[in-house]
Amino acid sequence: MLLYSTMLDVNDTLTKEKFIQLVIKWNQESQYEENVIPGLVRDGQMNVRYGDDQHWLEIEEYRNGNTVAIRYQKVEENDRIWSSDYVMNFAAGKMHIQLDRSFTGDANDLDQEFSTQHFLTFLIEEGHMQADGDLPVAREPIYIDKNNSKLLAKVIKGESFYQLPVVYVSKNKRGQYPVDVNLLASKLKGVAHVLVQESPNYDEASKELNEHYGALGVYYPNKAVQPKCFWYKDTAAQRKNMLESVIYAVMTYCNSQQVDGAYTWDGVLNAISRDRLESQREEREQAETEKEQVYSEFDDELKTLQERIDSLTQENEALRAENAGLHSKFGEMDKRPVLVMGDEEDLYPGEIKELVLSVLADDLDRGVTKPSRRSEVFSDLIEKNDYQGVYRKKKAEIQRILNNYTIMDAKTRKALQDFGFRIEEDGKHYRLTYFGDDRYNTTVAKTPSDARAGKNIAHYIVREF
Q: Residue 237 above 70 pLDDT?
A: no
Task: Compare 417 and 318 and report the one with higher pLDDT.
Answer: 417
Domain CATH number, residue 224: 3.40.30.10
Query: For all residues of the chain together, what is the average pLDDT?
Result: 83
User: Among residues 255, 275, 290, which one ends one of the domains?
Assistant: 255
In a domain, residue 199? The reply is yes
DSSP 8-state code for residue 131: P
Better-scored residue on pLDDT, 284 or 271: 271
| pLDDT of 136 | 93
Residue 59 has a pLDDT of: 95
Whether 301 is covered by a domain: the verdict is no
Assess if residue 300 is contained within a domain.
no
d(CA 363, CA 369): 10
Residue 192 within a domain: yes
Q: 89 with 95: CB under 8 angstroms?
A: yes
Choose the weakest-confidence range: 19-28, 268-277, 312-321, 418-427: 312-321
Q: What is the pLDDT of residue 115?
A: 61
pLDDT at 465: 85
> What are the CA-CA distances from residue 9 to residues 127, 165, 194, 249, 265 (Å)?
12, 15, 18, 22, 18
Do 52 and 96 belong together in one domain?
yes
Q: Is there a domain that residue 217 lies in?
A: yes
Dmax over Cα atoms in the chain, in whole Å?
A: 112
Q: According to the model, what pLDDT value does residue 166 have?
A: 94
Q: CA-to-CA distance for 12 and 18, rounded, in angstroms?
A: 11
17 pLDDT tier (thresholds 50, 70, 90): very high
pLDDT for 109 equals: 43
Residues 179 and 236 in one domain: yes
Number of domains composing the chain: 4
Query: Domain check: are 408 and 374 in the same one?
Result: no
Closest to 430 measured CA to CA, from 413, 449, 415: 413
- Give yes or no for a contact between 246 and 216, defined as CB atoms under 8 angstroms apart: yes
pLDDT band of residue 60 (cuts 50, 70, 90) is very high
Judged against a pLDDT cut of 50, whether residue 178 lies above it is answered with yes
Q: How far is Cα 247 from Cα 187, in angstroms, rounded to an integer?
A: 8
pLDDT for 185: 94
Using one digit for the tens of pLDDT, what is the confidence trace for 86-127?
A: 999 999 999 999 988 876 544 444 344 556 788 999 999 999
- Residue 93 shares a structural domain with residue 204: no
pLDDT value at residue 79: 75
Residues 365 and 401 in one domain: no
What is the structure's pLDDT at 392?
87
Domain boundary residue among 194, 224, 255?
255
More confident: 330 or 421: 421
Q: What is the CATH number of the domain that holds 52?
A: 3.30.2030
Mean pLDDT of the region 179-196: 93
Instruction: With a cut of 50, say whether residue 421 has pLDDT above it.
Output: yes
Residue 321 falls inside a structural domain: no
Who contacts 298 (Cβ-Cβ below 8 Å, separation ≥6)? 280, 283, 284
Write out pLDDT tens, residues 343-386.
787 887 788 888 898 888 888 888 778 788 888 888 888 888 88
> What was the pLDDT predicted at 330?
40
Identify which has the larger pLDDT, 303 or 66.
66
| Residues 107, 169 within the same domain | no
For residue 328, what pLDDT band results from cuts at 50, 70 and 90? very low
Considering the domain architecture, whether residues 439 and 395 belong to the same structural domain is answered as: yes
What is the reported pLDDT for 161? Answer: 83
Supply the pLDDT for residue 297: 65
Same domain, 379 and 406: no
Q: What pLDDT score does 111 carry?
A: 41
Q: 302 or 295, which is more confident?
A: 302
pLDDT at 282 over 80: no
Grouping H, G, I as helix, E, B as strand and the rest as coil, residue 67 is strand
Mean pLDDT of the 49-68 span: 93
**What is the pLDDT at residue 120?**
92
Q: Is residue 421 part of a domain?
A: yes
Q: List the domain range (segments joined by +) for residue 120.
A: 2-125
Residues 298-309 have a mean pLDDT of 69
Q: What percent of the chain is modeled with pLDDT above 70? A: 85
User: For residue 321, what pLDDT is reported?
Assistant: 53
In a domain, 51, yes or no: yes
Task: Give the C-alpha separation, 395 to 328, whole Å.
Answer: 43
- Looking at the structure, do residues 373 and 401 belong to the same domain, yes or no? no
The fraction of the chain above a pLDDT of 90, given in percent, is 32
The per-residue pLDDT for 294 is 57
**Domain end: 78, 96, 125, which one?**
125
pLDDT, tens digit (0-9, with 9 covering 90-100), for 138-148 = 999 999 888 88
Q: Are 208 and 156 in contact (CB under 8 A)?
A: yes
More confident: 395 or 108:
395
Query: What is the DSSP code string of 379-436?
Result: HHHHHHTT---HHHHHHHHHHHHHTT--S--HHHHHHHHHHTEEEEEETTEEEEEETT
Is the same domain home to 6 and 48? yes
Within this chain, do residues 45 and 28 fall inside the same structural domain, yes or no? yes
Which pLDDT belongs to residue 311?
A: 65
pLDDT at 9 over 60: yes
Residues 107 and 87 in one domain: yes
